[in-house]
A = this chain, B = another copy of it.
């Protein structure tokens, strides 16, 4: 490092250099690189030695131009600032990596128009498969996906009759055990503090599910509101909820529930004696806060999405749907 020159030579060592050094053709180098069996082991080791000596690194871009496969998966998620999505991405990345694939990720901020732009970029990057969240999409996005033939799956959702390959769970049905549980514990004045439902089919399905199962018990929500995903905003919405005099507040997800919990504590309202509170996601914190919630198989979704996408690409078929289950986790807040 005492040399004055910055050694910014972008690895000028190509397959040709390796070939020359090993006294073979580039075809043979390529064969060694790709584990072809038709290379004499003596030649193979000669090539491997040359590779090591030169510190040769194959150029993935050139490789994928030639093979028409990028060994890369794409994922577009609403946000990473939600632990449940982060967990999904974490698992998807791990699985993709295990299978020798990279992951390019983009965040849509819950905006379908933005998502459409990102889908286009994924198309240009020629990812081998794309994982999306939910099924609320612009027509343009749908067209893009259909006409390009890009293999893709929709996570966090499951629709028996949907057109896409869904890898997730039924958000509507997931609410049934929760409602049943609240009924069984004598709650009758149920209020809902939902997540934003615009452009969010999962949130909408949950709301619909809650109303549906409640009506089966001859009940309706005593109050309902939406808030953006944020502890603070949920906290601020608490007085509104209280105005309906509920004996239970169902929250669209755990983070919203945390906000409600903190607000209730500050307001001197006892949970669960005065009001029951429930969440959705079962984040790690929820155990500590003793929050009744619904556990979501985020890691499993991520793993399976990656796996299915890679498998489908290898077998040159369309990815298939896979349904997962959520489970009610009863804790102290209900």
A residues neighboring B (CB under 8 Å): 1, 6-11, 55, 57-62, 64-65, 68, 70, 72, 79-81, 83, 86-87, 89-90, 93-94, 97, 102-107, 118, 120-121, 123-126, 146-149, 163, 230-232, 235, 255, 258-259, 261-262, 284-285, 287-289, 316, 318
Contact = CB atoms under 8 A, between A and B. Distances in A.
A47 to B, nearest CB: 17
A104 B107 contact: no
Contacts of A8: 149, 316, 318
Contacts of A80: 80, 86-87, 89-90, 93
Given A80-B93, A83-B86, A86-B86, A68 B10 contact: yes
A107 B90 contact: yes
B103 A55 contact: no
B106 A104 contact: no
A90 B97 contact: no
Nearest to A289: B262
Nearest to A143: B55
A241 B120 CA distance: 53
A148 B6 contact: no
Contacts of A6: 149, 318
Contact of A72 (B104, B146, B289): B104
A148 B258 contact: no
Contacts of A86: 80-81, 83, 86
Given A262-B288, A288-B235, A105 B106 contact: no
Contacts of A318: 6, 8
Task: Specify which of A58, A94, A285 lies most central, judged by the most chain B CB atoms within 10 Å of its CB.
Answer: A285
A86 to B, nearest CB: 4
B81 A81 contact: no
A146 B6 CA distance: 10
16 contacts: A6-B149, A7-B149, A10-B126, A10-B148, A11-B123, A55-B147, A57-B124, A60-B125, A61-B70, A80-B80, A80-B93, A93-B105, A97-B107, A102-B106, A231-B288, A258-B285
A68 B12 CA distance: 12
Contacts of A65: 59, 61-62, 65
A68 B7 CA distance: 17
A90 B55 CA distance: 33
B163 A9 contact: no
